[in-house]
Amino acid sequence: MQPIDLLNIIPKLQHIKGLKNLSQLKSCSLHLEPKHCSAPQKVLEELDIFLPEQGWLCFQNKVKYFRKKDKIPTDSTILLYGEVVNSDGKSLHIREDGQGGWILTYFTETKGKEYLVENQSFLGENKLAPKQLYYRVYWQYDNKQGYRQVAARFTGFEVK
C-alpha cells in the first residue's frame, strides 16, 4: 500500500485502539545529500556555511547544545557528531565515518508522496540538552516488510 493509499484510509481506522496518532501522518518527499569530510576544520567550515539556528554537538570531551545561531558552541577538541537545523527548516547530521573522516548528511523535506512523515519528541539528557528534542520520522513502504522507518532528522528543541 503506497503512502497516499494509506492516508486515504486513516480516517476509517481512527476507532481502533492504539491507532489514534495515525492522523498525524502526512506525505512528503525527502532529499538526502551526504558529503564526506576528511579534516576536522572542514567539518566546522561546513557547519558555519549551513548557518544552524539550534542543535547539539558532541566534542571529544563534552556534549553542547545551542538555541541561537550566534551561540554555536566551540571547543578545543574535535567535533565527533551532532545534529543541527537552520532557519529554512533544513537539517544537517554530522557523524564520524569510522575511518578518520566525517559524513555530513543534509536533509531537505519537500512536498511529495514518497514517504509518510510524523513528528516525534524525545527526552533530552538532564544537563546535556533541553527537556525535549524534536524529530521528523520518515516511513516508506517495503513489499516484504510493510512500512518501515527509513530516516529521521532533528528539527529543534521546540515544536515548529
pLDDT digits (tens), the chain, 160 positions: 565 665 555 554 444 444 455 557 889 999 999 999 999 999 999 999 999 999 999 999 888 889 887 788 888 889 999 999 999 999 999 999 999 999 999 999 999 999 999 999 888 766 656 778 999 999 988 888 888 899 999 999 876 6
Rounded to the nearest angstrom, the gap between the alpha carbon of residue 8 and the centroid of all alpha carbons in its chain is: 26
Structural domain of 35: 3-156
Residue with cell 506525505: 27
Measure the CA–CA gap between 119 and 123, rounded to whole angstroms: 14
CB 83 within 8 A of CB 64: no
CB 90 within 8 A of CB 110: no
Number of domains in the chain: 1
